[in-house]
A and B are shown apart, each in its own frame.
Chain A
Amino acid sequence: MTDALKITIKTGLIAIITATIVSIFTIVPFPAFDLGPLIQAFSKGLAIANYWIPGATTIIPVCLVLLTVNLSILLAEIALVSTRWIMKVNE
């Protein structure tokens, strides 16, 4: 099997996996669910956090931004590892 064929197959696999994940999130319909209780629970948690965590209203958004950045880094790392796996054809 030539290197080009290996790369093509691996690329196809990655593309299929990516497309599946994206379609699950954006196309496949799920039964509607009521978000009200979740948001109310969040509001209640926020009220508790406001009281028990010093500077919660400042810290919570900062933490959420940091976690979002971390998630982005994780995605970038996955992309990097995937690319290296695709290009590794000499094994």
Chain B
Amino acid sequence: MRIKKCLKLNYLSVFFSRLLLLVALFCCAILSNVIKTNDVYARTTTSFGIRDWTSDAGSTWHTLGLPDNVTNIGHDTPHYFRGVRLVNYGDWGDGDYYSGHVTINVTAYHPYPAPAGVGNIVNRVGSEYSSALSSNTLCSLGAYGTQPKSYSVSNFSATYLGGSIDSTGTLYYTGWLVEWDFSGQMSSSYSGSYDAYCRIYPGSANSEWFSADTAAIYLDNRTSMTFNVSESSTGSQIDQVLEAQQNTNSILQQIDNSINNINISGGASADDIADAISDKEQSEMQSAQTGADTSANSSGSQADSQGRTLLNGFTQFVDGVQQARPATCEIDFDLSRYPGGTNTVVDLCSLSKPEYYNYIASIVVAIFVVRLSVTTVTKMLALYKEYSE
């Protein structure tokens, strides 16, 4: 009987075989691209990075939202902070002309509070380096480092936000707000999903945004980046996907609160402060990602005190999944294990795809969905027939 066949999980075996096929194709596509990929620096999907060129010649990017501690830097060897990049992966529209606006709000923490007005972070933006920073911005499309055919900046401003003085009269953080409008043209048209990035750094040696003997550095939640991409520079044609994503992720949004709510005592060490910030951000991020609303949280906490039922766990998991957003999908492939390989960080969302990939993938996905739909309808009809008998 058909029912018995179904109960033998015949359908599930077909489903999992299709799933296995998809996974196999996916893995093959990744491997074929990994082999071709040399250096992929771009971070993706609402991930911003802070780049410090002094410590390692610019080869390392630090993930936003986590304390970027600059410790053990002596007064005689000031640490120069030279640049920030913002990279976001998404559907930015089709075309080769682009424009947009970027706002970067950098906050530097003093792990060891300095007397008011003294400060151990030397501000460069807004003074003699303002024009230098303006001429060394770049916003472009594609993997990080992709050069546009043309690029121009307008309405550049760099503002020193001053410092915050706590109840003891000590200066414990300072900030800068830099923003500009941009427009440009790529050498060829982009379509589909790809990276968009903005960066700012002085171009010449011995120039820096600011210097600090000791600091923890963050991008605050005003940091954002919008891109408009079109096939025409005149704007007369219909722009496709003009409204870009506001690249402020959940971690970013918590940073200001984290900074303002942390109680810093005069004797706190850099590690203490970093740990406090990290703990607070992790708890807030976890709270945001588990994503339950008030009632779910209350039921969850009640369940936690007595142990959670499977239904509670499932419900909270579904709530969290519904609120989950695409994260960074960075996976480190240690290519040094392979002949001729090097230590390379490969980002699965930044690998180049062959031109035929989308066609093949679309066909496979369509077959999968159609097959699943047909099977579902067939089973419904069979069930109806069985009930009718």
Residues of A at under 8 Å CB distance from B? 24-36, 38-40, 42-48, 50-55, 59, 62-63, 66-67, 69-70, 73-74, 76-78, 80-81
Q: What separation, in Å, do the CA atoms of A36 and B307 have in the docked complex? A: 17
Q: What separation, in Å, do the CA atoms of A80 and B382 have in the docked complex? A: 12
Residues of A near B308 (CB, < 8 A) are: 29-33
**Assuming the A-B contacts A30-B313, A36-B289, A43-B325, are A80 and B3 also in contact, with contact meaning beta carbons closer than 8 angstroms in the complex?**
yes
Q: Flag whether B304 is at the interface (Cβ < 8 A).
A: yes
Apart from A40-B324, A44-B329, list 18 A-B contacts with CB within 8 A. Answer: A25-B311, A26-B311, A35-B316, A36-B320, A42-B324, A43-B324, A46-B327, A47-B45, A48-B348, A51-B348, A52-B353, A53-B365, A54-B361, A66-B369, A67-B372, A77-B386, A80-B3, A80-B383
**Assuming the A-B contacts A53-B365, A70-B379, A77-B7, are A48 and B310 also in contact, with contact meaning beta carbons closer than 8 angstroms in the complex?**
no
Q: Which of chain B's residues 313-371 have a Cβ closer than 8 Å to chain A?
A: 313, 316-317, 320-321, 324-329, 348-349, 353, 358, 361-362, 365, 368-369
Is B193 within 8 A of A50, CB to CB? yes
Q: What separation, in Å, do the CA atoms of A78 and B8 have in the docked complex? A: 11
Please give the distance in Å from B310's CB to the nearest CB on chain A. Answer: 5
Please give the distance in Å from A25's CB to the nearest CB on chain B. Answer: 5
Is A48 within 8 A of B329, CB to CB? yes
Is A80 within 8 A of B365, CB to CB? no
From B26, B44, B362, A54 is in contact (CB under 8 Å) with: B362
Residues of A near B7 (CB, < 8 A) are: 77-78, 81
Residues of B at under 8 Å CB distance from A? 3-4, 6-7, 11, 26, 29-30, 44-45, 89, 193, 286, 289-291, 303-304, 306-311, 313, 316-317, 320-321, 324-329, 348-349, 353, 358, 361-362, 365, 368-369, 372-373, 375-376, 379-380, 383, 386-387
Secondary structure dominating the interface of A: helix
**Assuming the A-B contacts A47-B44, A51-B89, A80-B387, are A29 and B317 also in contact, with contact meaning beta carbons closer than 8 angstroms in the complex?**
no
From B26, B45, B289, B365, A39 is in contact (CB under 8 Å) with: B289
Q: What separation, in Å, do the CA atoms of A46 and B286 have in the docked complex? A: 18
**Assuming the A-B contacts A43-B327, A70-B379, are A29 and B307 also in contact, with contact meaning beta carbons closer than 8 angstroms in the complex?**
yes
Minimum CB distance partner of A68 in chain B? B376
Sampled A-B contacts (5; CB under 8 Å): A29-B308, A47-B326, A50-B349, A51-B349, A54-B361
Is A66 within 8 A of B372, CB to CB? yes
Is B289 within 8 A of A76, CB to CB? no
Residues of A near B89 (CB, < 8 A) are: 47, 50-51
Q: What separation, in Å, do the CA atoms of A33 and B300 have in the docked complex? A: 11
Residues of B near A30 (CB, < 8 A) are: 307-310, 313
Is A77 within 8 A of B3, CB to CB? yes
Residues of B near A69 (CB, < 8 A) are: 376, 380
